[in-house]
Amino acid sequence: MARLSHLLRVDLGAETASREPIPERWLDRYVGGKGLGARYLFEELDPGTDPMGSDNALLFIVGPLTGRTPGEPRYAAITKSPLTGAFLDSYSGGEFAGALAGALGDCLGVLVTGRADEPMALTIEDGEATLEPTDAWGADAAATAGAFDGRVACIGPAGENRVSYATIAADGGDHHAGRGGAGAVMGAKRLKAVVARGQRPTEDSDLREIYEERFVDDETGRWQAASETLESVDFADAVGALATRGWQENRFDGIEGIGIEAARGAATGRESEGAIPGGFTVPTPDGESVPRGATQMTLGAGLGIDEFDAVAALGAQCDRFGIDVISAGSAVAWAIRASEAGLIERDLAFGDRDAARELLAEIATRTTPLGEALADGVERASATFGGEDFVPAIKGMELPAYDPRGARSMALAYATSDRGGCHRRARPIEDEPFSHWSDDERVERVIAEQNRRSVLWSLIVDDFVGDSFADLGAAWLSELGYDLSPADLATLGERVWTLTRLFNVREGLDREADRVPAPLTESAADGESIDPEEFEGLLDRYYAARGWDERGRPILRTLERLELASLDGGDGA
């Protein structure tokens, strides 16, 4: 089987679309997904490019394994983040991702540049791209999905209004490329929707059954089948790591009302059936919704709301607006604390679902001064009003509700994440509360997970199914014509992580951006906190292990080993 070897390039300003071959050396060194997208972004953008400007690039990209492996097919949206100013890769599963992989033909993705004069829809079919005006501007994610023939990824009102953490919503809002604001980039480009008309790739290989059985028997597979991500809220509460009521507590006294048992009681079914079921579907006033762990943690415990139906309804509202539940929930939590402290003139309180719903709408539409301020993120709002120590953000991205004050490895994972305060790059908090790790062990674990994720997101495979890929997918890639050993793929992961670091350093994000924000250096409810000096020592160990200098910049020897040294010259890597 021939490798996927082309890219579609779309210029919205010129209203043109073309096909181009991907350089062979890029395919060899980056494969697809995150790796290839990062290489294109590094090549396409000048330092200091405005994320909301026409010169920013937005890639919709798959990998050679998208749709072939068990679990959900996935795609990546890759761009420069309007929330952080850093590299952004955001992933979404579901029907659109499978249709996109089939619609692209022999292409791995589509790279979108420019800005349209009027709202446009981009259609991908049979390896070709076409543009046409659309009158769907103003519609929410669910209505937009119903306006086109095909599977749809689109923006809602939040993206149209360039909320800095707007999502790209797929399948009517059931799935999102959620964090970092890729939806705002679409809105700035006046690209309302991407329509994919294709079928998920089929796979005749015996490996599919082998990998599925392996995953079903894996600890992660058993956990996903039983609980999907919704059990995360119960776990975080049990270990004292659930950020509650605006990061003021680390356990939630209303956990029974929003956790996994409440979800099972409310659920009407699962997204998909079989060995690898999807999330729980629940009814809400806005239609069926699929709440994830982040929904219950951030919009539930984070806002002091202890009723599952109310939290699910807030999540569904965010889904239709096309807004990231973690950043949006953090913004509301910050506003409540700012209200209590007298920093803003607004009567807000934890546990008030109606006030939360109203404020979420103001953020998504930028219709009030407070909504306008919060639409640019907590860090920027607190710079205007104060309250910098209320809700933590790293590189401008609000942290999810896993409180790292009792797990320094998680603080390191947050601080060094290439897209900001993200828990998906590494989740050592799942193990550290039960272990006694040295700082060297903390560093080793975080780096290993970051590299592994970079491999799996370059292929691209279902996040959870990928946990059981002992060979990092080498056997499957071999059947598709790739000559990459597990050792080669391990190097690929390190190369991709280092490349995104180079992108961020070029944007001025080095050691200072890897800081621990103020709320994490203060005492949590159980007396735990992160000592800044101790954390600086942990960061020194991390940089040394990565082969970076004391400011967090990859050194020449590291770049040469990873075949990245020629990037500054514009050729070779």
Average pLDDT over every residue of 352-361: 98
Instruction: Dump pLDDT digits (tens) for 295-329.
Output: 999 999 999 999 999 999 999 999 999 999 999 99
| Cα gap 272→280, rounded to integer Å | 9
Average pLDDT over every residue of 538-545: 98
Q: Which of 88-102, 136-150, 170-184, 460-474 has the lowest mean pLDDT?
A: 460-474
Residue 539 counted as domain residue: yes
Last residue of some domain: 331, 364, 393? 393
Same domain, 410 and 542: yes
The pair of structure tokens assigned to 325 is 């539940």
- What 3-state DSSP class applies to 215? helix
Same domain, 255 and 386: yes
Query: Over the Cα atoms of the chain, what is R_g?
Result: 22
Total domains, the chain? 3
User: What pLDDT band is residue 276 in, cutting at 50, 70 and 90?
Assistant: confident
Q: Supply the pLDDT for residue 72.
A: 87
Residue 213 counted as domain residue: no
Residue 486 has pLDDT above 70, yes or no: yes
Same domain, 260 and 291: yes
Residue 214 has pLDDT above 90, yes or no: no
Cβ atoms of 134 and 116 within 8 Å: the answer is: no
Q: Supply the pLDDT for residue 220.
A: 79
The pair of structure tokens assigned to 552 is 């967090």
| Cα gap 270→282, rounded to integer Å | 9
Residue 205 counted as domain residue: no
Residue 570 has pLDDT above 60, yes or no: no
Average pLDDT over every residue of 77-90: 98
Q: Which residue, 293, 271, 511, 245, is CA-closest to 423?
A: 293
- What 3-state DSSP class applies to 473? coil
Q: Supply the pLDDT for residue 134.
A: 98
**CA end-to-end distance (rounded Å), the chain:** 25
What is the percentage of the chain residues whose pLDDT exceeds 90? 78
Measuring CA to CA, how many Å separate 202 from each of 68, 151, 199, 277, 337? 6, 17, 8, 19, 51
Residue 178 counted as domain residue: yes
Here the CATH number for the domain that contains residue 259 is 1.10.569.10
Q: Which residue, 410, 397, 393, is CA-closest to 240?
A: 410
Same domain, 437 and 370: no
pTM of whole model > 0.85?
Answer: yes
What's the DSSP call for residue 297? I
Residue 220 counted as domain residue: no
Measuring CA to CA, how many Å separate 379 from each of 6, 151, 331, 492? 39, 35, 9, 34
Q: Supply the pLDDT for residue 16.
A: 97
Same domain, 158 and 276: no
Q: Supply the pLDDT for residue 157.
A: 98
Q: Supply the pLDDT for residue 414.
A: 96
Average pLDDT over every residue of 522-548: 86
| Cα gap 59→82, rounded to integer Å | 15
Average pLDDT over every residue of 477-496: 94
Q: What are the φ/ψ torsions at residue 314 (nearest 5 degrees)?
A: -65, -40
Here the CATH number for the domain that contains residue 540 is 1.10.599.10
Same domain, 337 and 412: no
Same domain, 377 and 232: yes
Computed over every residue of the chain, the mean pLDDT equals: 93
Q: Supply the pLDDT for residue 116.
A: 98
Q: Which of 194-208, 238-252, 291-305 has the lowest mean pLDDT?
A: 194-208
**Domain residue limits at 553:** 404-569
Same domain, 189 and 281: no
Same domain, 378 and 465: no
Instruction: Dump pLDDT digits (tens) for 363-398.
Output: 999 999 999 999 999 999 999 999 999 999 999 999
Instruction: Dump pLDDT digits (tens) for 12-61.
Output: 999 999 999 999 999 999 999 999 999 999 999 999 999 999 999 999 99
| Cα gap 42→434, rounded to integer Å | 40
Residue 164 counted as domain residue: yes
Same domain, 362 and 414: no
Q: Supply the pLDDT for residue 9.
A: 98
Residue 550 has pLDDT above 60, yes or no: yes
What's the DSSP call for residue 300? I
Residue 1 has pLDDT above 60, yes or no: no
Residue 399 counted as domain residue: no
Higher-confidence residue of 368 and 287: namely 368
Q: Which residue, 543, 464, 462, 450, is CA-closest to 492?
A: 450
Query: Would you say how long the chain is, in residues?
Result: 573
Residue 398 counted as domain residue: no
Last residue of some domain: 181, 197, 213? 197
The residue to which tokens 């062990």 are assigned = 441
What is the percentage of the chain residues whose pLDDT exceeds 70? 97
Same domain, 460 and 316: no
| Cα gap 182→185, rounded to integer Å | 5
Q: Which of 232-241, 301-310, 452-461, 495-504 has the lowest mean pLDDT?
A: 232-241
Higher-confidence residue of 415 and 463: namely 415
Same domain, 49 and 108: yes
Last residue of some domain: 393, 416, 449? 393
